[in-house]
Amino acid sequence: MVDDFLASYPSDISALARQARLLILDVIPEAIEQVDIPAKLIGYGYDRTYTATICGIAMQKSYVNLMFARGTELPDPNGLLEGTGKKARHVKIRTSDDVSKPAVRALLHAAAATKQGTEEKKKRKG
């Protein structure tokens, strides 16, 4: 499904998305991957609900956004996160080097830990 979805984008954009996807699955191997064709994104979370979303990949014309559902809660000492939403933030991925930055991997680790902590709190309350 992911390959079919990415095939509809220019090769440079789909290549960046594939790189970002591999990074996400490397950092968060237990993440559930979901393709949302109308929203033009691939989402990752610990379950299939919107509220459990950790991060996502959104294709743009000349770059890929690596989105973080709770980006405002993440440490970002390198200033990579952009956006003005109440919670979400994103990192613009324009080149292969952008995907390879240790700071991007660190953001994914932090996002996974933040989301996992929230899920554990819910389990304790329930």
pLDDT digits (tens, 9 = 90+) for 35-87: 999 999 999 999 888 888 999 999 999 999 999 999 999 999 999 999 999 99
Mean predicted lDDT score pLDDT of the chain: 91
* Domain 2-125 class, CATH top level: alpha beta
**Long-range pairs, 68-77, Cβ under 8 A, ≥24:** 68/107, 68/111, 69/45, 69/111, 69/115, 70/111, 70/114, 70/115, 71/111, 73/114, 74/107, 74/110, 74/111, 74/114, 75/106, 75/110, 76/107, 77/103
- pLDDT bin (cut points 50, 70, 90) of residue 115 is low
Is the CB of residue 59 less than 8 Å from the CB of residue 17?
A: yes
Q: Is the pLDDT of residue 32 over 70?
A: yes
Is 121's pLDDT higher than 70?
no
Distance of alpha carbon 17 from alpha carbon 66, whole angstroms? 9
